[in-house]
A and B are shown apart, each in its own frame.
Chain A
């Protein structure tokens, strides 16, 4: 049973990785290039190498949530996180896909390949670090171009929300004559029923990635979703889900409940005030899709906290707030206060 895979060039057997800029599998050794249609050739090549050269023996260190595998290229024993689905060998740096991690329920149905290159991601991070208050450590990371391409596991939820609203509303009108000011209040009972369809609402399925950070990079363009193929993972990191669909669906429900409420409330127009509003909903035609979506990410520990900056690997939208350095803020304040005070002092002396 194949478990860890190095994809090899069918022409020269060198390591093969998915190249974002060309959207092909390029061999940097013999300059061969392979398109999506040539995937069976690549898969056939990896099969031979795998069977001949490696004796796969995974060891699960459950107490540490780690697993070990033998690199099919160099034979090195590599440790990895138990959720890792694609990584690099720490000895020979060859891209490795852990096929055993992508079996059964862990096999994603679909995937969006990376569209944005590392250079674009690094440029976005460098631009983001331009501010004067960003700690030096982030600027150093940006200068070194340290961004990681990661396929993040996502659940895409679809459902038709059968929603109902009921409550009271008031219409108030005013007029006056010479002596009195009049106020007329008309009371109404309002009721709404609507079926609101939601398609592919994403919820990241990784425990260690911050939900808000992931939401900040949305939306993804789902028209580019492709059927899952492990070859796309070669050359990038990938993770398996560790938050199952049932847990993620709570976030999905929270998000769409807000939208449902807004849609229903918008439909009650022409009233001055509303009260006693209650909203209920049920789901019809509910469906869940497990996918992997591309993200460029950097995580840096600063002041005992992990700070993350991420970029949507498909659209280039960035997310994540970098921390401010109070030292830098005070330095700026002190410098500016000194300059301005001096200017005011000189102005007061001269004028």
Chain B
């Protein structure tokens, strides 16, 4: 009995711990190397940890190395992104960092970038980095590959940071809604966009800001957008409702985009919509139609904010769409059909049924004169039980309640959202 109750307690504790582990992200791990596939010797791990820590201290971008044989049924990309998010890697509030995963199960190497690393590493940069890593990797020199990753990634970030220089601007006047430090728009265009942005602010109480610049001073786009929005005093109302489009133009003609939403604006435009909007703006930017890019941003914001903030007749008319009318008719007719059907059935079932002939049978008088059950034969068959070798384990996930949010887009960079909702970039290759 005691053993049973002990086992029961342990089982409950395990279930609770497992449930908590699904909800609460783990604390950041202290090291930089996680060798689950046991590809490195303890000395090599120590060396890699030391090197990585020194480089991270210098470049302020986290560098993580992970090896594994088991990716919980996830792809290398998903596993690398989730590993980074779940363990809380990254430096600073925007969690700048990158992770190299050596997946021995699929024999694949994947580099996941986040925040500042995502800004700095275009797809072509990732390819160059993978080229360098592949030289030792082909000779099964995993330690050499890890060293290549650390040194080349750090070197690339050093160069990018040096080229960027100090931030173009660190604080803005909250009255100015369009700040074009990168010189993408002429005055009439700027005025036109400003009028639209002011209209959103004045009518619906949501700040709408566009900032273009050439340098964020080594800060990630995410961190810079958040800082300048809050430090400049943007945002209207109690919740500081507002949305900011940050455009960083690089010397080589490439650009980074960031949308930061705060307060109610985060509710009005969700992450999925931010990603779609960034893609639209990115397309216009690649066509060098900067005014169209700005217009897309402001018009979309106007539509979404108006949808939630419009009042009175405007609100009603705006919501009176053919889709709503169609849905109302569909559900109305469906519900009416159901009600009428129930009424119909209820009315049909009112009458009691005719009695069965057994009503007139004298059960006590029923006399069985013969009850014979004769055994004839027996037959036994057997069927082999198929053996199953099922093995699966639940994946991990994490979530966080945010009152602000946004997304990133960089020209020449493939980015995506991980299961936790943060934006990652990167690339991989099989070996």
Contact = CB atoms under 8 A, between A and B. Distances in A.
Interface of A: 128, 131-134, 164, 168-169, 176, 178-202, 212, 215-216, 218-219, 255-256, 258-259, 262-263, 267, 317-321, 324, 329, 332-334, 336-345, 348-349
A341 B336 CA distance: 9
A186 B351 contact: no
A318 B366 CA distance: 31
A133 B343 contact: yes
A295 B361 CA distance: 24
B3 interface: no
Nearest to A259: B357
24 contacts: A133-B343, A168-B376, A178-B385, A180-B383, A182-B382, A185-B379, A186-B377, A187-B376, A188-B373, A188-B374, A196-B362, A258-B357, A259-B358, A319-B351, A329-B340, A329-B344, A336-B339, A336-B340, A337-B332, A337-B333, A339-B332, A345-B325, A348-B324, A348-B327
B378 A349 contact: no
Given A340-B335, A344-B327, A317 B352 contact: yes
Contact of A195 (B366, B373, B378, B384): B366
Contact of A185 (B347, B365, B378): B378
Nearest to B369: A193
Q: Is the interface of B mostly helix, strand, loop or mixed?
A: mixed
Interface string B346-371: 01101111111111111001111111
B357 A255 contact: yes
A348 B320 CA distance: 8
Contacts of A340: 331-333, 335-336
Nearest to A193: B370
A183 B381 contact: yes
Contact of A194 (B344, B352, B367, B380): B367
Interface of B: 315-316, 319-320, 324-325, 327-329, 331-333, 335-337, 339-340, 343-344, 347-348, 350-362, 365-385
Nearest to A263: B366
A200 B333 CA distance: 52
Contacts of B361: 196-198, 256, 259, 263
A180 B384 contact: yes
Given A182-B380, A333-B336, A343-B332, A195 B354 contact: no
Q: Give the dominant DSSP class at A's interface.
A: mixed
A128 B366 contact: no
Contacts of B366: 194-197, 263
B324 A341 contact: no
A263 B356 CA distance: 12
B324 A194 contact: no
With a 10 A CB-CB cut-off, give which of B336, B337, B348, B359 has the most chain A CB atoms. B336
Contacts of A263: 358, 361, 366
A185 B377 CA distance: 9
Contact of B328 (A133, A267, A344): A344
B261 to A, nearest CB: 23
Contacts of A255: 357
A336 B365 CA distance: 56
Most chain A CB within a 10 A radius of its CB, from B320, B357, B360, B379: B360
